[in-house]
Structure 1
Amino acid sequence: MENHTPSDAYVIGIDYGSDSVRAVLVSAHTGQEVAQAVHPYARWKTKRYCNAARNQFRQHPLDHIEGLEATVRRVAQHVPAAQIKGLAVDTTGSTPGPVNEQGVALALLPEFAENPNAMFVLWKDHTALAEAAEINHKARTWGGEDYTRFSGGIYSSEWFWAKIMHVVREDEAVARAAYSWMEHCDWLTLLLTGGELKTCKRSRCAAGHKAMWHESWGGLPSEEFLTLLEPRLGGLRERLFEQTYTADEVAGHLSEEWAQRLGLTTDTVVAVGSFDAHAGAVAGEIEAYSMVKVMGTSTCDIVVAPMHEVGGKLVPGICGQVDGSVIPGMLGLEAGQSAVGDLLAWFRGVLEWPLRTLLPQSALLTPEQQQALREELSDKMMAELNRAAAAVHPDDSQVLALDWVNGRRTPDANQALKGALMNLTMGTDAPQIFRALVESICYGSRLIVERFEQEGIPIQQVIGLGGVAKKSGFLMQTLADVLNRPIKVAESDQAPALGSAMYAAVAAGIHPSVEAAQRAMGNGFAQTYQPNPARVADYQRRYEQYQTFGQFVEQATAPVEVESEPETAAHA
Structure 2
Amino acid sequence: MGKKYVMGVDFGTESGRVLLVEADTGKEVATNVTAYKHGVLDKTLPGGTPLGTDWALQDPGDYLDVLSMSVPAVLQQAGVMPEDVIGLGIDFTASTILPLDLKGEPLCLKSKWENEPHSYVKLWKHHAAQTEADDFTRVAEERGEAFLKRYGGKVSSEWMFPKILQILREAPQVFDEADLFMEACDWLTSRLTGNLHRSSNTSGYKAFWNKKEGYPSPEFFAAVDDRLKDILKTKMRGDVLSIGEKAGELTEEMAQVLGLNPGTAIAVGIIDAHAGVPAAGAVRPGQMVMTMGTSNCHLLVTDKDQPIVGVCGSVEDGIIPGYISFETGQVAVGDSFAWYVDQAVPGYVKKEAEESGLNVHQLLERKASAYEPGQTGLIALDWWNGNRSVLVDSHLSGAIIGLTLATKPEEIYRALIESTAFGTKKIIDSFVQGGVPVDEIFAVGGLPDRNRLLMQIYADVTNREIKVADSSQTTALGAAMYGAVAAGSKAGGYDSIFEAAKYMARVREETYKPVPEHVEIYEELYSYYLELHDFFGVEKKSLMHGLKKWKR
- Tell me the alpha carbon deviations over residues 332-389 of structure 1, each in whole angstroms, 9 at most, x when there is no partner: 111111111111111111136869xxx9xxxxxxxxxxxx999999961010011111
1:295 maps to what in 2? 292
Distance change (3 Å), C-alpha of 1:526 and 1:38: farther
Q: 2:15·2:36 contact (CA, 8 Å) conserved in 1? A: yes
Q: 2:536·2:544 contact (CA, 8 Å) conserved in 1? A: no
Distance change (3 Å), C-alpha of 1:376 and 1:99: farther
Q: 2:197·2:238 contact (CA, 8 Å) conserved in 1? A: no
Which residue identity does 1:133 align to in structure 2? D
Instruction: Tell me the CA shift for residue 232 of structure 1.
Output: 3.1
Secondary structure, aligned partner of 1:130: helix
Residue of 199, 208, 221 corresponding to 1:203: 199
1:64 maps to what in 2? 63
Q: 1:140·1:146 contact (CA, 8 Å) conserved in 2? A: no
Which residue identity does 1:121 align to in structure 2? K
1:283 is the counterpart of 2:284: no
2:517 maps to what in 1? 534
Which residue identity does 1:164 align to in structure 2? I
Q: For residues 117 and 376 of structure 1, what CA distance do their matches in structure 2 show?
A: 47
Q: For residues 402 and 349 of structure 1, what CA distance do their matches in structure 2 show?
A: 19
Q: 1:318·1:412 contact (CA, 8 Å) conserved in 2? A: no
1:445 maps to what in 2? 424
Which residue identity does 1:10 align to in structure 2? Y
1:366 maps to what in 2? none
Secondary structure, aligned partner of 2:359: helix
Instruction: Tell me the CA shift for residue 231 of structure 1.
Output: 2.8
- Cα RMSD, aligned residues only: 2.3
Distance change (3 Å), C-alpha of 1:341 and 1:508: same
1:490 maps to what in 2? 469
Instruction: Tell me the CA shift for residue 36 of structure 1.
Output: 0.5
Q: 1:203·1:272 contact (CA, 8 Å) conserved in 2? A: yes
Distance change (3 Å), C-alpha of 1:147 and 1:376: farther
> Structure 1: any 5+ residue segments left out of the alignment?
1-5, 360-371, 562-572
Secondary structure, aligned partner of 1:503: helix
So what's the TM-score if we normalise by structure 2? 0.92
- Tell me the alpha carbon deviations over residues 140-162 of structure 1, each in whole angstroms, 9 at most, x when there is no partner: 103x5333122222111111111
Instruction: Tell me the CA shift for residue 397 of structure 1.
Output: 1.7
The count of aligned residue pairs is 531
Instruction: Tell me the CA shift for residue 114 of structure 1.
Output: 3.7
Q: 2:41·2:58 contact (CA, 8 Å) conserved in 1? A: no
Instruction: Tell me the CA shift for residue 321 of structure 1.
Output: 1.1
Residue of 290, 312, 318 corresponding to 1:319: 312
1:273 maps to what in 2? 269
Q: 2:93·2:272 contact (CA, 8 Å) conserved in 1? A: yes
Q: For residues 332 and 115 of structure 2, what CA distance do their matches in structure 1 show?
A: 28
Residue of 234, 259, 271 corresponding to 2:229: 234
> Structure 2: any 5+ residue segments left out of the alignment?
546-552
1:479 maps to what in 2? 458
2:536 maps to what in 1? 553
Q: 2:43·2:52 contact (CA, 8 Å) conserved in 1? A: no
Q: 1:49·1:58 contact (CA, 8 Å) conserved in 2? A: no
1:468 is the counterpart of 2:447: yes
User: Where do 1:89-488 residues align within 5 Å?
Assistant: 89-142=90-143, 145-195=145-195, 200-217=196-213, 219-239=214-234, 240-241=236-237, 243-286=239-282, 287-306=284-303, 310=304, 312-351=305-344, 380-488=359-467
Which residue identity does 1:60 align to in structure 2? D
Instruction: Tell me the CA shift for residue 194 of structure 1.
Output: 2.7
Instruction: Tell me the CA shift for residue 102 of structure 1.
Output: 2.0
Q: 1:180·1:236 contact (CA, 8 Å) conserved in 2? A: no
Which residue identity does 1:64 align to in structure 2? Y
1:3 maps to what in 2? none
Distance change (3 Å), C-alpha of 1:373 and 1:482: closer
184-193 vs 386-395, which moves further: 386-395
Q: For residues 354 and 98 of structure 2, what CA distance do their matches in structure 1 show?
A: 35
2:507 maps to what in 1? 524
Q: 2:536·2:543 contact (CA, 8 Å) conserved in 1? A: no
Instruction: Tell me the CA shift for residue 28 of structure 1.
Output: 0.8
- Tell me the alpha carbon deviations over residues 488-514 of structure 1, each in whole angstroms, 9 at most, x when there is no partner: 111011001100111010110121110
- Tell me the alpha carbon deviations over residues 44-65 of structure 1, each in whole angstroms, 9 at most, x when there is no partner: 1675647897111111101111
1:569 maps to what in 2? none
Secondary structure, aligned partner of 1:304: strand
Q: 2:97·2:183 contact (CA, 8 Å) conserved in 1? A: yes
1:30 is the counterpart of 2:16: no
Instruction: Tell me the CA shift for residue 390 of structure 1.
Output: 1.5
Secondary structure, aligned partner of 2:418: helix
- Tell me the alpha carbon deviations over residues 221-241 of structure 1, each in whole angstroms, 9 at most, x when there is no partner: 211111221233232210214
Q: For residues 67 and 345 of structure 2, what CA distance do their matches in structure 1 show?
A: 33
Q: 1:302·1:332 contact (CA, 8 Å) conserved in 2? A: yes
Q: For residues 377 and 415 of structure 1, what CA distance do their matches in structure 2 show?
A: 39
Which residue identity does 2:280 align to in structure 1? G
Counting aligned pairs with the same residue, the percent is 37
Instruction: Tell me the CA shift for residue 244 of structure 1.
Output: 1.7
1:566 maps to what in 2? none
Q: 2:57·2:122 contact (CA, 8 Å) conserved in 1? A: yes
Q: For residues 171 and 378 of structure 1, what CA distance do their matches in structure 2 show?
A: 51
Q: For residues 497 and 416 of structure 1, what CA distance do their matches in structure 2 show?
A: 32
- Tell me the alpha carbon deviations over residues 519-555 of structure 1, each in whole angstroms, 9 at most, x when there is no partner: 0112222520111112111111110001101222223
Distance change (3 Å), C-alpha of 1:457 and 1:378: farther
Distance change (3 Å), C-alpha of 1:443 and 1:560: closer
Secondary structure, aligned partner of 1:549: helix
Q: For residues 352 and 180 of structure 1, what CA distance do their matches in structure 2 show?
A: 46
Instruction: Tell me the CA shift for residue 115 of structure 1.
Output: 2.9
Secondary structure, aligned partner of 2:17: strand
Q: 2:41·2:57 contact (CA, 8 Å) conserved in 1? A: no
Q: For residues 559 and 527 of structure 1, what CA distance do their matches in structure 2 show?
A: 44
Q: For residues 494 and 295 of structure 1, what CA distance do their matches in structure 2 show?
A: 12
Q: For residues 395 and 227 of structure 1, what CA distance do their matches in structure 2 show?
A: 52
Q: For residues 38 and 45 of structure 1, what CA distance do their matches in structure 2 show?
A: 16
251-260 vs 346-355, which moves further: 346-355
Distance change (3 Å), C-alpha of 1:374 and 1:95: farther
Q: For residues 271 and 496 of structure 2, what CA distance do their matches in structure 1 show?
A: 19
Secondary structure, aligned partner of 2:150: coil
- Tell me the alpha carbon deviations over residues 426-465 of structure 1, each in whole angstroms, 9 at most, x when there is no partner: 0011111111100000000000111111111100011001
Q: For residues 374 and 401 of structure 1, what CA distance do their matches in structure 2 show?
A: 24
Q: 2:42·2:54 contact (CA, 8 Å) conserved in 1? A: no
Distance change (3 Å), C-alpha of 1:499 and 1:448: same
